């Protein structure tokens, strides 16, 4: 999948929003482009004041975090957003939203399905992945802010290994969405 420069730059900002800083190697791996392409994209983002280049990578400057909901608070429940479970939604209607966990992220997604992008953080390794590509563990004994707790994993194998130790049910994106829609009553008023 080849992204145009504007889409790559949005993706870089989303990754940095979740991780605060990344190396050139991490960005080339995440984007599937050359280091030179990453440098060109970073230079454009630096010129527009959206990030700062660091030795061997990039980071968000303090002022660039002002677009995040309430200084790092979840757009759904207003709790702090932990790095291990952060979710980013990007859409034309509401812009960029950050959620504290996949449960809140999915609830937000259901109210703004125009969100063109939803990224979840792998609970074990901290890397961002498209929500559609992730596997989810619902209802494990590992406590999270929401009930039932939902943890995201890059691979189904990792989710199943985690399930063996902590219980719960492994689900795909479509199945976990279906579960939430059928069991939860989420009011759009919560999003105002």
Judged by average pLDDT, the poorest of 41-50, 95-104, 111-120, 172-181 is 111-120
**What does the pLDDT read at residue 162?**
94
Which residue did the predictor score with more confidence, 73 or 190? Answer: 73
| Residue 150, both tokens | 């939902």
Stretch 63-82: mean pLDDT = 63
**What does the pLDDT read at residue 120?**
92
If you average pLDDT over every residue of the chain, what do you get?
82
Maximum CA extent, the chain: 48
CA neighbor of 124 nearest in space, from 81, 64, 83 = 83
* 132 burial level (CB within 10 Å; 0-12, 13-18, 19+): exposed
Sheet holding 117-121, edge to edge: 95-99, 87-91, 117-121, 128-130
Q: From CA 92, how far away is CA 82, in angstroms rounded? A: 25
37 pLDDT band, cuts 50/70/90, is: very high
**What does the pLDDT read at residue 159?**
96
Q: Do the beta carbons of residue 121 and residue 81 sit within 8 Å?
A: no
62 pLDDT band, cuts 50/70/90, is: very low
Stretch 132-143: mean pLDDT = 92
Q: What pTM was computed for the model?
A: 0.61
Residue 33's Cβ-side half-sphere holds a number of Cα atoms within 13 Å equal to 21
**What does the pLDDT read at residue 46?**
80
pLDDT in tens, 83-122: 889 998 887 777 788 899 999 999 888 876 666 788 899 9
Stretch 14-39: mean pLDDT = 88
Judged by average pLDDT, the poorest of 41-50, 68-77, 112-121, 143-152 is 68-77
Asked if the peptide bond before residue 148 counts as cis, ω within 30 degrees of 0, the response is yes
**What does the pLDDT read at residue 174?**
94
For 58, other C-beta atoms within 10 Å of its C-beta total: 25
Which residue did the predictor score with more confidence, 144 or 73? Answer: 73
Stretch 7-27: mean pLDDT = 86
**Secondary structure class of 35 (helix, strand, coil):** helix
Domains of the chain: 5-66 (1.10.10.10), 69-191 (no CATH)
How far does the chain reach from its first CA to its final CA, in angstroms? Answer: 35
For 26, other C-beta atoms within 10 Å of its C-beta total: 17
């Amino acid at each position: 999948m080849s992204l145009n420069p504007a889409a790559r730059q949005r993706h870089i900002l989303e990754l940095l929003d979740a991780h605060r800083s990344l190396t050139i190697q991490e960005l080339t791996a995440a984007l599937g482009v050359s280091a030179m392409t990453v440098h060109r994209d970073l230079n454009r983002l630096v010129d527009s004041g959206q990030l700062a280049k660091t030795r061997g990578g990039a980071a968000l400057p303090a002022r660039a975090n002002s677009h995040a909901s309430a200084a790092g608070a979840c757009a759904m429940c207003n709790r702090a957003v932990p790095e291990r479970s952060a979710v980013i939604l990007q859409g034309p209607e509401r812009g960029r939203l950050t959620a504290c966990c996949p449960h809140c992220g999915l609830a937000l997604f259901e109210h703004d399905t125009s969100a063109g992008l939803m990224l979840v953080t792998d609970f074990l390794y901290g890397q961002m992945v498209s929500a559609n590509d992730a596997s989810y563990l619902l209802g494990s004994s590992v406590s999270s802010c929401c009930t039932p707790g939902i943890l995201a994993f890059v691979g189904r194998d990792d989710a199943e290994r985690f399930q063996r130790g902590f219980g719960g049910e492994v689900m795909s994106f479509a199945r976990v969405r279906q579960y939430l829609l059928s069991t939860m009553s989420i009011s759009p008023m919560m999003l105002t």
